[in-house]
Structure 1
């Protein structure tokens, strides 16, 4: 799993289309093994990103949450605190 693909379900506010697209792009990059496809593969790459983003949005729209949505800012702060504690992130 790509570390840069984050959970998008059950957050307030809901994931934006840009976040869904970014997750789809990271997924396709991981599967394709490249961050920039060749000209010969660009159309297939772009089509895959578009289709995965579309399906991801449908999934997010259809998922049902049984718990209240999480606050994005609070979850980001928790993640930063975990990173600092583990030594992966330094405060400047």
Structure 2
């Protein structure tokens, strides 16, 4: 589950509210063990997602850096190349 949480800081354009909420949702899912909570736990689950979303937005808003913002497409291409190299090595080892 947490593999879907990506670095959100120092990108151009900045992370959207949807991206921040998606990361918070993945975190709560991982910690709680629920993909979708029962009705009895839904309120607590939704409250946790909202609280973590707010904390994440506050964190991202208060961080500072001198580094230039990263380009999402360039970083995604680097990740694809790393994955391809990793899976090529795994396939050769098998």
TM-score of the superposed pair, with normalisation by structure 1: 0.91
Stretches of structure 2 that go unaligned for 5 or more consecutive residues are 89-94
Aligned length: 88
Q: Distance in 2 between matches of 1:87 and 1:34?
A: 29
Aligned partner of 1:11 in structure 2 is 11
Q: Distance in 2 between matches of 1:34 and 1:47?
A: 14
Aligned partner of 1:33 in structure 2 is 33
Q: Normalized per residue, which structure has more helix?
A: 2
Q: Distance in 2 between matches of 1:36 and 1:73?
A: 31
1:35-54 aligned at under 5 Å gives the runs 35-54=35-54
Stretches of structure 1 that go unaligned for 5 or more consecutive residues are none
1:15-36 deviation line (CA, Å, top 9, x unaligned): 0000000000000001101111
Aligned partner of 1:72 in structure 2 is 72
The Cα shift of 1:4 comes to 1.0
| Structure with bigger gyration radius | 2
> Aligned Cα RMSD in Å?
1.4
SS of 1:37's equivalent? coil
